[in-house]
Amino acid sequence: MAVLAKSKNDIVLHNQEEVVSPGREAWKSFKKNKFALVGAGIVVFFIIIAILAPVIAPYGVNEQVLSNRNAPPSADHWFGTDDFGRDILSRVMFGSRISLWVGFVAVMGSIVIGCFLGIIAGYYGRWIDTLISRIFDIMLAFPSILLAIAVVAVLGPSLQNALIAIALINVPNFGRLIRSKVLSVKQEEYIMAAKAIGMSDARILFHHVLPNSLAPIIVQGTLAIATAIIEAAALGFLGMGAQPPEPEWGKMLADSRQYIIQAPWTVLFPGVAIMLTVLGFNLMGDGLRDALDPRMKS
């Protein structure tokens, strides 16, 4: 009897050990991906830089010393100075705040609008689905940067309008993604049971359909932040995003392109900042995809 009881206890403990929440399982899978951890480390590094920029920046973001224009990297100015004698390291630090802010806010706006339209289209179908899908198709027919330029040209060049443009051009990506997920989720038995007991459509959508469709949205959102940062830099480079004297990385590249031969550091460090940030989000997004997608698991 004692042996039998011990065996039953072992079975219970074994079963308890096997019960792992999906979030914890995804985290364990994510930690095994070294490239994903490197990407997450890069992202966390730039987030910390953005938060602490006013404290750790060695100089004021717009502090000018005209007698020290285009000075090379030195002990006083680690990244050198630009054509106005401003410290490039300080401007790169403050520029991380703008780029990350644009990336996060624009993608969140795209997710909210895209998910709302995608859920409505996928759940109700018929003419609503046709109308929303055709709108997405029309938007996707244009190159994203060209559509963003058109939106900013209508609204006027500014960082806020560039943010709106970036959010709008990414709406179809999230809308189509969530629509395809809803089309499969709404056929599940628990959704049919919810309808059978008289649960409202809004409750079904936001309590059952949306939570079970979030995994691909999280992955796409992480990758979209990298794209949004590049698009913000492109608009800034074209003079349609951040305006002087804001230290936006793309604008810094545009202002320094005429000094690329005599003062290459004025272009190098903002460009490296863009590259590393985008690389970090892409590596982290790939890791999240592997961790959250059941098809990627053995």
The amino acid that residue 10 corresponds to is D
CATH class of the domain comprising 80-296: mainly alpha
Token output for 278: 């985008």
Cis previous bond, 245, omega within 30: yes
Residue 116's Cβ-side half-sphere holds a number of Cα atoms within 13 Å equal to 5
Residue 167, pLDDT above cutoff 60? yes
**What are the pLDDT digits (tens) for 7-32?**
445 544 444 444 556 667 777 777 78
109's tokens: 């706006």
Q: Is 295 exposed, middle or buried (0-12, 13-18, 19+ CB in 10 A)?
A: exposed
Q: Residue ranges per domain, the chain? A: 80-296
109-154, pLDDT tens digit by residue? 999 999 889 888 888 878 888 999 999 999 989 888 889 999 999 9
Separation of CA 139 from chain center? 20
SS3 label, residue 59: coil
The answer to whether 245 touches 95, Cβ cutoff 8 Å, is no
Q: Can you read off the two tokens belonging to residue 260?
A: 């690329």
Please check whether residue 60 is in contact with residue 90, taking contact to mean a CB–CB distance below 8 angstroms. yes
Instruction: Identify the CA nearest to 183 among candidates 212, 163, 161.
Output: 212
